[in-house]
Chains A and B, each alone.
Chain A
Amino acid sequence: MSYTEELKRLIKRVEATRMARVERKRRGEEYPMLSLAEREERLRKYHPDFVEGARREIRVGPNKGYAISPEIADLLESRSRIDPDKVDLSRIDYETDVLILGGGGAGTSAALVAQEQGAKVILATKLRHGDANTMMAEGGIQAASKGTKDSPYFHYLDIMGGGHFKNVPELVRTLVMEAPRVLGWLEDLGCMFSKFEDGRLKTLHGGGTCRKRMHYAADITGAEIMRTLRDEARNRAEDITVLEFVPAVELILNERGHCAGALLYNLETEEYLVVKAKAVVIATGGSGRLHIQGFMTTNHYGATGDGLILGYRVGVKVCFLHTVQYHPTGAVFPEQAEGLLITEKFRGAGANILNIDGEQFVYEREPRDVESACFIRECTEVGKGVPTPTGKFGVWLDSPMIDILRGAGTVEKEFPGKHILFKRYGIDISKEPMLVYPTLHYQNGGLEITAECETTVPGLYVSGEVSGGVHGENRLMGNSLLDVTVFGRIAGKNAAVYAREKAEDAPLTLDHVKRHHKEIEEAGIETGQISPMLLPDYSNPEVRKKQLTAHYQGTIR
Chain B
Amino acid sequence: MESGKKENERSGHSEMVPIFVMGKRYDVPASLTIQKAMEYAGYQWIRGCGCRGGICGACATVYRFPESYKIEVGLACQTVVQPNMYITQIPFFPAVKKTYDLEKLTPTLETLVKLYPETLRCLQCNVCTKSCPMDIQVMDYMAAAMRGDIERVAELSFSCVMCGLCTSRCPAEICQYNIAILARRLYGKYMTPKAEHLQAVIEEITKGRYDSMMTELMETDEERLKKLYTEREIEPEEADEMWTPKDTSRL
Interface residues in chain A, defined as those with a beta carbon under 8 Å from any beta carbon in chain B: 1, 25-26, 28, 30, 35-36, 127-128, 130-131, 135-136, 143-154, 156-158, 160-161, 165, 169-170, 173, 176-177, 180-181, 183-184, 187-193, 195-201, 205, 210-212, 218, 220, 223, 227-228, 231-232, 234-237, 245, 267-268, 290-291, 294-298, 300-301, 335-336, 338, 340-341, 350, 390, 416-417, 420-421, 424, 535-541, 543-544, 547, 555-556
Contact = CB atoms under 8 A, between A and B. Distances in A.
Interface in B7-49: 7-8, 10-11, 31-33, 36, 39-47, 49
A538 B213 contact: no
A32 to B, nearest CB: 13
A101 B151 CA distance: 36
A113 to B, nearest CB: 16
A157 B158 contact: no
Nearest to B251: A151
B197 A149 contact: no
B10 to A, nearest CB: 7
B102 to A, nearest CB: 6
Most buried by B among A147, A189, A540: A540
A175 B205 CA distance: 13
Contact of B202 (A181, A201, A211, A218): A181
Contact of B251 (A149, A191, A196): A149
Contacts of A199: 192-196
A235 to B, nearest CB: 5
Contacts of A28: 236-238
A210 B234 contact: yes
Interface stretch (B61-69, B168-176, B178-186): B178-186
Contacts of A151: 210, 213, 250-251
A548 B152 CA distance: 56
B225 A165 contact: yes
A446 to B, nearest CB: 21
A217 to B, nearest CB: 8
A144 B241 CA distance: 14
B106 interface: no
B144 to A, nearest CB: 15
Interface stretch (B52-60, B82-90, B118-126): B52-60
A149 B54 CA distance: 37
Interface of B: 1-8, 10-11, 31-33, 36, 39-47, 49-56, 58, 78-80, 91-92, 97, 99-102, 134-135, 154, 158-159, 161-162, 181-182, 184-189, 192-202, 204-205, 210, 213-214, 217-218, 222, 225-226, 228-230, 232-239, 241, 243-245, 250-251
Most buried by B among A35, A150, A218: A150
Contact of A152 (B11, B193, B213): B213
Nearest to B234: A210
Given A212-B235, A267-B46, A189 B185 contact: yes
A336 B135 CA distance: 19
A524 B102 CA distance: 57
B217 A157 contact: yes
B1 A538 contact: yes
Contact of B238 (A26, A198, A268, A290): A26
A424 to B, nearest CB: 6
Given A153-B213, A180-B201, A421 B78 contact: yes
A13 to B, nearest CB: 24
Given A25-B238, A232-B102, A300-B50, A192 B188 contact: yes
B201 A145 contact: yes
B58 A291 contact: no
Leading 3 A-B pairs by shortest Cβ distance? A199-B193, A190-B185, A543-B42
A147 B244 CA distance: 10
A416 B225 contact: no
Contacts of B236: 28
A235 B44 contact: no
Nearest to A211: B235
Given A150-B251, A156-B217, A336-B80, A417 B55 contact: yes
Nearest to B79: A424
Contact of A538 (B36, B80, B193, B205): B36
B158 A540 contact: no
Contacts of A421: 54, 78
A180 B251 contact: no
A341 B78 CA distance: 14
Contacts of A131: 50-51, 56, 58
Given A127-B50, A187-B188, A154 B225 contact: no
B4 A291 contact: yes
Contacts of A36: 226, 230
Nearest to A546: B42
Contacts of B45: 301, 535, 538
B150 to A, nearest CB: 11
A93 to B, nearest CB: 20
Contact of A153 (B32, B101, B102, B210): B210
A160 B229 CA distance: 8
Contact of B198 (A127, A187, A220, A536): A187
A235 B45 CA distance: 29
B97 to A, nearest CB: 6
Given A190-B184, A190-B186, A300-B52, A154 B232 contact: yes
B205 A181 contact: yes
Contact of A235 (B99, B159, B184, B214): B99
Contacts of A145: 195, 197-198, 201
A547 to B, nearest CB: 8
Given A218-B158, A417-B55, 8 more contacts: A131-B58, A135-B56, A145-B201, A154-B232, A156-B217, A192-B184, A420-B159, A539-B39
A246 to B, nearest CB: 11
A127 B58 contact: yes
A189 B100 CA distance: 12
A127 B46 CA distance: 7
Contacts of B6: 294
Contacts of B36: 538
Nearest to A237: B99
B131 to A, nearest CB: 16
B2 A169 contact: no
Contacts of A160: 217, 225, 229
A36 B39 CA distance: 45
B188 A190 contact: yes
A187 B194 contact: yes
B78 A291 contact: no
Contacts of B193: 195, 197-199
A102 B218 CA distance: 32
A344 B193 CA distance: 28
A165 B62 CA distance: 50
Nearest to A152: B210
Contacts of A291: 1-4
A536 B3 CA distance: 11
A228 to B, nearest CB: 6
Contact of A540 (B8, B97, B200): B8
